[in-house]
């Protein structure tokens, strides 16, 4: 027995017997102290700072040797009170907040929120078609960039480094498109109640066509690396099992649900933004495991490209159409444009309100400082985000600010399945299972 | 005095907004039949499957194409089981709280969004309780996925879900006091000074309602 106190290893008596705490450092002294104790129960605190937990997720694992006997999630480390904050800003400013929730799919947060506001306003059918098509195109691009992170980091966490390099290369191309269209690569606040912040810049469609071509070609690299790769198969097949009954009772949606063979996708089941007018398939597998979810994400990339191509065709026909509702009491007056230094007020708009039209100036001032009023009531809108059903509960009291904004984030809900997927499995499979849920802590904690 | 127009001017039409932050809850009136769409079908099926229907339902609201059933707290689990087993609402996609301080003895609302994959339908349940007795029976036994949603609603609004397997705070630290999403809980924030002028904290800015 060592005589000095080890700062990294201590022990204490509890009702369950002697408990040894280890935070790293000298394992030798611990092993000596534990000595001949038969019990091998170890409670392992994984995270919140851990490279394999997708951000600040804390997993509390109870281990019996290498086998996980109990799993619990500790969340809340990224709680920023976005829902509360939106209650103190006007309805349009809310977009800037909600886009920061699930930071890998900002366009989905914005769209779900705006669809809710539009439903409350009763202007769902007044949103111009060009704006809706741009929204669909942005969402599908965002689905690609989000799946790229899911695939890349998922592979990285299982020790495959190259897929991550390729996935982030593809993601960069998508972010370039976002930058061209909205001026920003993340958290764009591009979708606004009534339409989108600005029309496509010159040459955007050409760039999008080229990007789609590049992406389709480049996706093959990751397919070659992972599909059918024997190490990858051994790490993912039969791991993180969750069947349809488990999914329904836990409220699981998205790729995890579709890996049970059920083709449930809100884009088909309860279409919004005109998804019924696009041709695409819902990929499914019936393996209920990590590999199945991986395959689904891979195939969804191609389906998203198909939708984007149809969007481009539609946008060519909708040239010079408006991208914001005609109602001047709702339409955000500040016409924006993308300059060399990012997004800012359009100079033409400044010229008009400052030099030409008093009415336009009044409208600009009233809407920007005060916002528009939304009739009282409550709505729930749901869209299919890359991770499943992203639902938004909006309550209005008739004022210019939301009374309550609640996001039903798919990551938050799906993370509940960690225990069902991991308990009884190996320690290393916990990483694979959590990666297949693809939780984004910004969305979980909001 | 009634409000006029989109900008809500009252009296002289002054909307300078120096009245401070005002929240006023609007109670949505009960809807009479026919509800339209599949809502009549859902109501019929529920009435048939649950003899105590009229005793359990407080009111039915159809607004903006969405059906909300206001359920008495004591009957919630019964209704939930029937909705799941007989009307095939397999999923409770979420639980959400709302605080209406002006609705005396019904200040706290819990809203359950239900989804039926079989019938491709959505409905909503709403349960109202008072701040003094904020108890609602938990539906975790019916839909296991409601577990974290109920914990979040407890964390943010202080609604106690009885018989929940582990009702603890989920987003806020364990030792936090107060319920942040209640309307009387301050947003916090500090004034921001910029080039000599001061911008008040968001909750202290003028309101236009």
Average pLDDT value for residue range B151-161: 93
With an 8 Å Cβ cutoff, are A251 and B207 in contact? Answer: no
Which of A413, A416, A439 is the best substitution to test chain B (most B C-beta atoms within 10 A)? Answer: A413
Q: Is the dihedral of CA B52, B56, B59, B64 positive or negative?
A: negative
End-to-end C-alpha distance for chain A, whole angstroms: 48
Contacts of A413 in chain B (CB under 8 A): 93-94, 145, 148-149
H or E stretch covering B78? helix B76-85
End-to-end C-alpha distance for chain B, whole angstroms: 13
CA distance B80 to chain A (A): 13
Average pLDDT value for residue range B108-114: 94
Q: Which residue has 């592979």 as its token pair?
A: A155
H or E stretch covering A337? strand A336-339
Q: Which residue has 């977009």 as its token pair?
A: A95
Which of B69, B96, B101, B142 is the best substitution to test chain A (most A C-beta atoms within 10 A)? Answer: B96
What would the pLDDT profile of A293-326 be if each residue is shown by its tens digit?
999 999 999 999 999 999 999 999 988 888 888 8
Of A163-172, A358-367, B13-22, B161-170, the one with minimum mean pLDDT is B13-22
Given this model, what pLDDT does residue B193 score? 87
Residue of chain A minimizing CA distance to B201? A88
Residues in chain A: 446
Residue B118 has pLDDT above 80, yes or no: yes
Average pLDDT value for residue range B140-147: 92
pLDDT confidence tier of residue B2, bands split at 50, 70 and 90:
very low
> Measuring CA to CA, which residue among A271, A106, A122, A137 is closest to residue A193?
A122
With an 8 Å Cβ cutoff, are B117 and A248 in contact? Answer: yes
In sequence order, which residues have a C-beta less than 8 Å from that of residue A373 and are 6 or more positions away? A398, A399, A400, B6, B7, B8
Q: Where are the beta strands (DSSP E) in chain B?
A: 57-63, 66-71, 91-99, 108-116, 121-129, 135-137, 160-162, 192-194, 197-199
Determine how β-strand A195-196 pairs with β-strand A191-192.
Answer: antiparallel
How many residue contacts between A and B have a Cβ separation below 8 Å?
Answer: 145
> Measuring CA to CA, which residue among A107, A440, A109, A143 is closest to residue A301?
A143
With an 8 Å Cβ cutoff, are A248 and B91 in contact? Answer: yes
> Measuring CA to CA, which residue among A311, A321, A318, A312 is closest to residue A277?
A311
Given this model, what pLDDT does residue A44 score? 83
The CB-side HSE value for A315 (13 A sphere, CA atoms) comes to: 25
CA distance B96 to chain A (A): 7
CA distance B162 to chain A (A): 19
With an 8 Å Cβ cutoff, are B145 and A446 in contact? Answer: no
Residue B19 has pLDDT above 50, yes or no: no
From the number of C-beta atoms within 10 Å of its C-beta (0-12, 13-18, 19+), residue B69 rates as buried
Q: Is the dihedral of CA A301, A302, A307, A311 positive or negative?
A: positive
With an 8 Å Cβ cutoff, are A76 and B205 in contact? Answer: no
Residue of chain B minimizing CA distance to A124? B64
Residue of chain A minimizing CA distance to B118? A264
Contact A421, A242 (CB under 8 A): yes
Query: Domains in chain A and their CATH numbers?
Result: 11-74 (no CATH), 82-330+372-445 (1.10.645.10), 331-371 (no CATH)
Alpha carbon separation from B183 to A83, A374, B107, B176 (Å, rounded):
12, 19, 10, 17
| Rg of chain B in Å (alpha carbons) | 20
Nearest to A376 among B15, B26, B172 (CB): B26
Residue of chain B minimizing CA distance to A390? B93
Contacts of B99 in chain A (CB under 8 A): 404
CA distance A46 to chain B (A): 17
- In whole angstroms, give the CA distance from residue A262 to residue A288: 10
Contact B183, B174 (CB under 8 A): no
Contacts of B170 in chain A (CB under 8 A): 75-76
CA distance B133 to chain A (A): 22
Helix ranges (H only) for A2-66 are 27-34
With an 8 Å Cβ cutoff, are B208 and A400 in contact? Answer: yes
Nearest to B94 among A270, A376, A408 (CB): A408
With an 8 Å Cβ cutoff, are A408 and B66 in contact? Answer: no
Show the tokens assigned to A136.
């669909």
CA distance B150 to chain A (A): 11
- pLDDT 10s per residue in chain A (446 long)? 444 555 556 677 777 777 777 766 666 766 776 666 666 778 888 878 777 777 788 999 988 888 899 999 999 999 999 999 998 888 998 999 999 999 999 999 999 999 999 999 999 989 999 999 999 999 999 999 999 999 999 888 888 888 899 999 999 999 999 998 888 888 988 999 999 988 888 889 999 999 999 999 988 888 888 888 888 899 899 898 999 999 999 999 999 999 999 999 999 999 999 999 999 999 999 999 999 999 999 999 999 999 999 999 999 998 888 888 888 788 887 777 777 776 777 888 888 888 888 888 888 888 888 888 888 889 999 999 999 999 999 999 888 889 999 999 999 999 999 999 998 888 889 999 999 998 999 999 98
Given this model, what pLDDT does residue B50 score? 83
CA distance A445 to chain B (A): 6
Residue of chain A minimizing CA distance to B155? A76
With an 8 Å Cβ cutoff, are A412 and B148 in contact? Answer: yes
Given this model, what pLDDT does residue B4 score? 47
Alpha carbon separation from A106 to A15, A52, A138, B79, B168 (Å, rounded):
48, 23, 10, 37, 30
């Amino acid at each position: 027995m060592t005589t000095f106190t080890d700062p990294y290893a201590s022990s204490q008596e509890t009702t369950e017997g002697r408990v040894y705490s280890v935070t790293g450092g000298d394992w030798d002294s611990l092993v000596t102290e534990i000595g001949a104790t038969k019990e091998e129960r170890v409670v392992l605190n994984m995270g919140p700072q851990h490279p394999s937990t997708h951000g600040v997720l804390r997993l509390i694992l109870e281990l019996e040797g290498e086998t996980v006997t109990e799993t619990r999630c500790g969340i809340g480390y990224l709680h920023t009170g976005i829902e509360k904050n939106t209650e103190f800003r006007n309805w349009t400013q809310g977009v800037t907040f909600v886009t920061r929730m699930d930071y890998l799919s900002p366009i989905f947060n914005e769209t779900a929120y705006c669809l809710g506001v539009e439903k409350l306003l009763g202007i769902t059918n007044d949103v111009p078609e060009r704006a809706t098509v741009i929204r669909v195109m942005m969402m599908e691009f965002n689905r690609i960039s989000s799946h790229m992170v899911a695939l890349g980091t998922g592979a990285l966490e299982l020790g495959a480094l190259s897929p991550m390099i390729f996935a982030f290369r593809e993601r960069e191309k998508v972010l370039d498109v976002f930058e061209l269209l909205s001026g920003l690569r993340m958290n764009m606040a591009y979708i606004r109640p009534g339409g989108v912040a600005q029309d496509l810049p010159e040459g955007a469609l050409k760039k999008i066509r080229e990007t789609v071509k590049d992406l389709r070609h480049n996706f093959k690299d990751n397919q070659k690396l992972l599909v059918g790769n024997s190490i990858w198969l051994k790490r993912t097949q039969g791991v993180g099992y969750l069947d349809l009954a488990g999914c329904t009772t836990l409220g699981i949606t998205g790729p995890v649900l579709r890996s049970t063979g059920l083709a449930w996708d809100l884009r088909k089941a309860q279409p919004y933004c005109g998804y019924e007018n696009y041709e695409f398939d819902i990929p499914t597998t019936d393996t209920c495991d990590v590999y199945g979810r991986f395959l689904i994400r891979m195939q969804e990339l191609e389906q998203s490209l198909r939708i984007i191509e149809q969007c481009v065709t539609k946008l060519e026909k909708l040239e010079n159409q408006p991208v914001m509702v005609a109602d001047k009491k709702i339409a955000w007056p500040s016409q924006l444009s993308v300059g060399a230094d990012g997004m800012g007020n359009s100079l033409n708009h400044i010229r008009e309100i400052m030099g030409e039209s008093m009415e336009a100036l009044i409208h600009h001032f009233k809407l920007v400082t005060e916002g528009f009023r939304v009739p009282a009531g409550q709505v729930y809108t749901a869209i299919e985000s890359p991770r499943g059903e992203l639902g938004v509960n909006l309550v209005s009291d008739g004022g210019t600010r939301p009374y309550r904004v609640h996001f039903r984030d798919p990551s938050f809900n799906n993370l509940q399945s960690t225990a069902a997927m991991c308990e009884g499995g190996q320690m290393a499979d916990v990483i694979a299972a959590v990666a297949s849920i693809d939780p984004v802590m910004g969305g979980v904690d909001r | 005095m009634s409000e006029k127009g989109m900008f809500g001017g009252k009296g002289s039409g002054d909307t300078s907004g120096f009245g401070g932050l005002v929240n006023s809850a609007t109670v949505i009136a009960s809807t009479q039949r026919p509800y339209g769409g599949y809502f009549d079908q859902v109501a019929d099926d529920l009435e048939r499957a649950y003899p105590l229907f009229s005793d359990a339902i407080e009111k039915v609201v159809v607004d903006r194409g969405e059906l909300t059933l206001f359920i008495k707290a004591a009957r919630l689990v019964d209704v939930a089981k029937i909705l799941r087993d007989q009307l095939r609402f397999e999923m409770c996609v979420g639980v959400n709280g709302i605080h209406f301080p002006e609705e005396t003895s019904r200040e706290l609302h819990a809203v359950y969004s239900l989804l039926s994959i079989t019938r491709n339908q959505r409905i909503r349940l709403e349960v109202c309780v008072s701040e003094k007795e904020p108890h609602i029976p938990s539906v975790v036994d019916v839909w296991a996925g409601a577990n974290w949603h109920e914990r979040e609603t407890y964390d943010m609004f202080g609604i106690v879900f009885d018989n929940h397997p582990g009702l603890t705070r989920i987003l806020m630290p364990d030792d936090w006091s107060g319920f942040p999403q209640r309307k009387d809980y301050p947003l916090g924030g500090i004034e921001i000074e910029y080039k000599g002028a001061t911008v008040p904290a968001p909750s202290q800015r003028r309101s236009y309602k």
